[in-house]
Amino acid sequence: MIRIAAIADVHVGEDSAGKLAPHYERLRDEADVLLVAGDLTRVGTVAEARTFVSELRDVGVPVVAVLGNHDYECGNDREVTAVLRDAGVQVLEGERTSVEIGGRRLGIAGTKGFGGGFVGACASDFGEPEMKLFIRHTQQLASRLQENLEALDTDVRVALLHYSPAEGTLHGERLEIWPFLGSYLLGEAVDHAGADLVIHGHAHGGTEKGHTAGGIPVRNVAQPVVKAPYRLFCFDGTQTEDESAGRPDAVVERA
């Protein structure tokens, strides 16, 4: 069995020391890996990043993360990434990694992603240069996500994002801000490449469960949504029609 703990939007500040560590100390008994779907910090300072990694000191499992929009706020994303990597956290941006777990391999393709909206209400790369830059950024990240998912030759494949690839997990958020919470291009990339699960955050007022247009499970693990230190996903090697959709495992979810 592959056991994945996932969380997003913990928004660690310099005053957060000691708040997460007690939960992470027991994570190793429940999970084989921890995935963090962005917004590790409040405003992306190096000090906040150091506080975050100090909370992980006893986690005892590999940690894989993507950055979120909060982690870019101060323009220190490279420095924040360096702090995380120095502490052993794998930070992905248009990259992939794999983790060996009990003789099976978990593959993770990660990117922050970006906005743009969804089918029938999406922006396009037409008009002002600023609009072209906005949408082309999403296009580029979606393209890299697809390439990395396709390149993963693993038993289970997970797409780790910050922005949402599907509308289903945005219900509860105001419709006016959906274009800033995700993009259908990310969902198309996942569907074209194939995956067993998509994990994202960012939508604090959204819904936990959704699917891509192609039926791949999407889970919003933003802490304000799951209201827990992390959500646990287990791939147990069984298949069910509604969850696995022809993929090698069913997603067994636990609080």
- For residue 190, pLDDT over 50 is answered with yes
Q: What Rg do the C-alpha atoms of the chain give, in angstroms?
A: 17
CATH classification at residue 124:
3.60.21.10
Torsion of CA 17, 41, 202, 149, to 10 degrees: -110
**CA distance linking residue 155 with residue 157, whole number of Å:** 7
Question: Contact 30/1 with Cβ under 8 angstroms?
Answer: no
* Mean pLDDT of the residues in the chain: 92
Question: Contact 54/23 with Cβ under 8 angstroms?
Answer: no
> pTM, whole model, 2 decimals?
0.93
Number of domains in the chain: 1
Percent of the chain with pLDDT over 90: 84
Token representation of residue 66:
């993507």
**CA distance linking residue 49 with residue 117, whole number of Å:** 30
Q: Number of C-alpha atoms within 13 angstroms, CB side, residue 133?
A: 3
Over residues 127-155, the mean pLDDT reads 96
- For residue 242, pLDDT over 80 is answered with no
- For residue 143, pLDDT over 80 is answered with yes
Over residues 13-23, the mean pLDDT reads 91
Residue 78's domain comprises: 2-254
